[in-house]
Amino acid sequence: MPQRKKTRTKFTEGPEPRHVRKMKQVRLEVAAEAARILATEGQHNYHVAKKKAAERIGVSARLALPSNVEVKDALRSYQALYGGIAHERHIEKLRRIAAQSMQLLEDFQPRLVGSVLDGTASAHSRIALHVFADAIESLILFLLERGAAFAQEQRQIRWFDGGHRVVPVVVFERDDVEVEMAVFDPVNLRQAPPSPIDGRPQQRANLAEVEHLLRKKSA
């Protein structure tokens, strides 16, 4: 008697449970509001923006906070929708100021990082540079010799080993825009510290790469 051929039934997933769909929708709403806060209210800290957004929407910050990547995606969408040409021109202006500052600081091998590089900077954003020196005093002396006004700060950042490190930051102003320089040892030029957005090594651009971005935009 011939054997009956077995047939396999393909497994198909059913619809997501209602509470899962609702939670995803809430996360999208929080991400969108956090993006609006970052774009319009001068807030730069993603975690603070997410908590504030959750409070405004009236949901639990403990359960419904989106990831930083989700907020970054929402920020790009918000700026594309509401920023338009004005936002593009603002980014171009900041990149030009960044390139001029990097030319001035060429002895310190500057690298552009952050929102000016990735195109999500707002009207309240600083230009963020990584510079490299054996001692911060050499950068301070360089600025003093040129009569540049500046301020000193400190920033706690994530480090390669998963911990945190305090990095000195020097801030000066150029064309009414604040330029901050996080000062690293020259050995750290080989590898960027983790991004606070996705934990991967931060994107960095040297002067030639920034100038290429500007040429690309004006072409």
SS3 193: coil
The tokens for 185 are: 């040892």
The pLDDT tens digits of the residues spanning 134-175 come to 999 999 999 999 999 999 999 999 998 889 999 999 999 999
Mean pLDDT of 82-87: 94
Residue 204 has pLDDT above 90, yes or no: yes
The tokens for 89 are: 């021109």
Q: Give the mean pLDDT of the chain.
A: 91
pLDDT the model gives residue 3? 57
What ranges make up the beta strands (E) of the chain? 111-113, 127-132, 150-158, 164-174, 177-184
pLDDT the model gives residue 12? 53
Q: What angle do CA 137, 139, 141 make, to 5 degrees?
A: 65
pLDDT the model gives residue 130? 98
pLDDT the model gives residue 7? 55
> How far is it, in rounded angstroms, from Cα 12 to Cα 30?
31
218 or 113, which is more confident: 113
Residue pair 129/98 in contact (Cβ under 8 Å)? The answer is yes
For residue 106, what is the DSSP state?
Answer: G
Q: Kindly report the pTM of this predicted structure.
A: 0.86
Q: How far is CA 162 from the centre of its chain?
A: 19
